[in-house]
Amino acid sequence: MRQKIVAGNWKMNNDKAETKALIKGIKKAIKKLSLKNTRVIISPSYVNLSAAIKKADNSKIEVAAQNMHQAKNGAYTGEISADMLKSINIETVIIGHSERREYFNETDAILAEKMDAVLSNGLEAIFCFGEKLEERKSENHFAVVESQLKNALFHLEAANFKNIVLAYEPVWAIGTGETASPEQAQEMHAFVRETISKKFGKEVADNVSILYGGSVKPANAEEIFSKPDVDGGLIGGASLKAEDFAAIIKAI
C-alpha cells in the first residue's frame, strides 16, 4: 500500500552515544504527532544498528540498514549479509544510493543482484536512483532514470513491489543545498510511476511509494511533499538534527 514515508539516511555519521541521543531527541520531538499512514525510518551505520533498534523500541521509529551484500555469506571482507541483518531484526535496507554507486562501484547489475537478495530474504528495499548534473544538463535525465529502473528492477515480479520503496535522488541535489524544484520532482516522480505502470501495471504503480531525496530541509519539505506523486523524502543532512528531522516529518 502506498504510504507516506520520511526516512533519514545518516550515512557515515554518529557514534553509539550520538546515535542513542539523536533517537531520543527524535522520539521526543515526534511523540505527539499522530503519523497516520506515515512511516518514520532512520538509517544509522551498521555498528550502531543494534543500539538503535533497542533505543527505538516501542516508538514510531523504524530502523533500516544503509547497504547489504548480495551473497548469502562467504569471503567478502567488510560486508554484511541479509541473514546478519535479519538476526538483529532489521527489515528494511537502502539499496543503490548514489554514493554507493559512485564510491563503491555499485553497477546496475550488482544492484539487480542486491534487490534479489533483499527480496528473497523477505526484507524491504528502499531503492535509490537519479541522474547526475551533466545528465540533466544534457536533458538525458529521463533516459538515465529509466535505464536505472530497467536494469535493476525490471526482472522482478509485480508482487515484489509490496516490498519496494523507490527514492528519486538527483545526484546534483545531494548535500549541495540545491534542491530539485517541486515541479522537477513531481515531473520525474510521475515519469517513474508511468515507467513502473507500463512494465508492472497500474495497480503496482499506484501503490508504490516514491520518495524524493536531495537537500530536503524544514524550509522546503512541505512544498515538495505537496506534489501528488511525491510520497515522502529520503533525508541526509537534515536527518542528523532531531528538530529538523521532526519538522520535515511534520511537513508531510
Give the footprint of ligand G3H on this chain (CB under 6 A).
9, 97, 169, 174-175, 213-216, 234-238
Distance CA 169, CA 101 (A): 12
> Any known ligand binding at 172?
no
Residue 92 CB, nearest distance to ligand G3H (Å)? 13
Residue (14 or 200) nearer to ligand G3H, CB: 14
DSSP 40-97: EEEE--GGGHHHHHHHHTTSSEEEEES---SSSSSS-TT---HHHHHHTT--EEEE--
Between the alpha carbon of residue 86 and those of residues 19, 63, 138, the distances in Å are: 20, 12, 42
Shorter beta-carbon distance to ligand G3H: residue 41 or 112: 41
Q: Is 37 annotated as a binding residue?
A: no
| Shortest spacing between CB 237 and ligand G3H, in angstroms | 4
- One-letter identity of residue 9: N
**Is 69 an active-site residue?**
no
Q: CB of residue 244 vs ligand G3H: minimum separation in angstroms? A: 10
C-beta of 184 vs 200, nearer to ligand G3H: 184
The reply to whether 72 sits in an annotated binding site is no
The CB-of-96 to ligand G3H minimum distance in angstroms stands at 11
User: Residues 154, 116, 193, 101: is their CA dihedral positive or negative?
Assistant: negative
Q: Which of 69, 97, 141, 189 is catalytic?
A: 97
Helices (H) and strands (E) in the chain, counts: 11, 8
* β 210-212/61-65 pair status: unpaired
In the chain, what are the helix, strand and coil shares in percent, each to the nearest 5? 50, 15, 35
Does the active-site annotation cover 155?
A: no
Taking the alpha carbons of 249, 214, 156, 196 in that order, is the dihedral positive or negative?
A: positive
Cβ-closest residue to ligand G3H?
236
Q: Is the CB of 205 or the CB of 214 nearer to ligand G3H? A: 214
At its nearest, how many Å lie between ligand G3H and the CB of residue 176? 7
Q: Any known ligand binding at 28? A: no
Looking up cell 541473514, which residue turns up? 83
Out of 99, 135, 169, 189, which one is annotated catalytic? 169
Q: Which residue has the cell 520520511?
A: 6
Of 124 and 204, CB closest to ligand G3H:
124
Known binding-site positions for substrate: 9-11, 175, 215, 236-237
Known binding-site positions: 9-11, 175, 215, 236-237
- Give me the active site residues, please: 97, 169
